């Protein structure tokens, strides 16, 4: 009898614990933990490198008279949208609270935007003009780029490169000792510097940024369904893009499908933000 009662109490406790966990479950998308490779490189060093490259990018644009002034209507628009999104970034990365956020616009036909580690955001006029983005769509793009920084995808790529470089050093020493190959050749990987503007993110990183960006936009009061119209426009603008299996990026149709599947998780956040 005692054993039966014990089992009943244990089952009740388990059910209670599960209910409590469900009650405290996080609202929004689920993208898992960050990659273990981020630990191979310090966040400070990545952000410092990003700061240098960001300043170089702005200077080059200014030298070509392509940097949007603060009183430019599109610059003001971008900064207003960022101001709404930024308060929701800390949940994804505590370092975001101390980032010195910046938003700038560069005159270029590129259909592109980026957010470097440390919160340095740039949009190109090409993405705004060519796609005729609504504020909701701009928020989706901005959220996506911010998500790359929050999830430290650049740091992850640099961590992977560091791991490869360590392997190259070890392999180089072995090859030099055993096969007579010049270690300077095999060690060149370790000396190669990372250009944060040209890092290529994989499909998983892109999908993760899509989902986190969609949630950030929703929490800030922007319609997450704009992610669908955004990628429909992007697909039309990239008719000659390679199919998914030839690219590191998910295909437009797959991105849309993943976003649609996650809309039920973020629409309540958007609706709540509008109240």
Q: Mind telling me the catalytic residues?
A: 145
CA-closest candidate to residue 135, choices 230, 28, 213: 230
Contacts within 8 Å (CB) and 24+ apart, 53-59: 53/116, 53/195, 53/196, 53/197, 54/102, 54/116, 54/118, 54/120, 54/122, 57/106, 57/122, 57/197, 58/104, 58/122
User: How many Cβ atoms sit within 10 Å of the Cβ of residue 184?
Assistant: 10
CB 235 within 8 Å of CB 259? no
How far apart CA 139 and CA 223 sit, in angstroms, is: 9
What's the first-to-final CA gap in the chain, in angstroms? Answer: 54
Cβ neighbours for 93, distance < 8 A, ≥ 6 positions apart: 149, 150, 151, 152
72's enclosing H/E stretch is none
Where does the chain show beta strands of DSSP type E?
Answer: 102-106, 113-116, 120-124
Residue pointed to by tokens 């000659």: 240
The HSE-up count of residue 165 (CA atoms within 13 Å, CB side) is: 16
How far apart CA 7 and CA 12 sit, in angstroms, is: 8
């Amino acid at each position: 009898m005692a054993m039966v009662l014990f089992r009943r109490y244990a089952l009740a406790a388990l059910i209670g614990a599960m209910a409590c966990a469900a009650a405290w479950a996080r609202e929004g998308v689920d993208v898992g933990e960050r990659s273990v490779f981020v630990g191979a490189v310090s966040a400070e060093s990545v952000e410092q490198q990003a700061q240098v490259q960001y300043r170089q990018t702005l200077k080059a644009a200014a030298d070509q008279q392509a940097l949007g002034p603060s009183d430019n209507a599109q610059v003001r628009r971008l900064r207003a949208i960022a101001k709404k999104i930024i308060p929701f970034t800390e949940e994804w990365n505590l370092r975001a609270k101390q980032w010195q956020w910046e938003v700038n616009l560069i005159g270029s036909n590129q259909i592109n935007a980026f957010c470097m580690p440390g919160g340095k955001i740039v949009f190109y006029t090409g993405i705004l003009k060519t796609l005729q983005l609504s504020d909701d769509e701009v928020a989706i793009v901005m959220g996506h780029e911010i998500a790359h920084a929050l999830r430290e995808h650049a740091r992850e790529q640099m961590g992977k490169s560091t791991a490869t470089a360590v392997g190259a050093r070890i392999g180089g020493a072995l090859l030099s000792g055993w096969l007579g190959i010049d270690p300077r050749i095999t060690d060149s990987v370790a000396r190669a510097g990372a250009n944060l503007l040209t890092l290529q993110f994989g499909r998983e990183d892109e999908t993760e940024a899509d989902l986190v960006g969609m949630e950030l936009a929703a929490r800030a009061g922007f319609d997450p369904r704009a992610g669908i119209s955004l990628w429909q426009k992007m697909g039309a603008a990239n008719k000659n893009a390679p199919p998914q299996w030839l690219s590191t990026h998910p295909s437009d149709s797959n991105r849309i499908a993943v976003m649609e599947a996650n809309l039920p998780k973020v629409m309540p956040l958007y609706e709540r933000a509008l109240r």
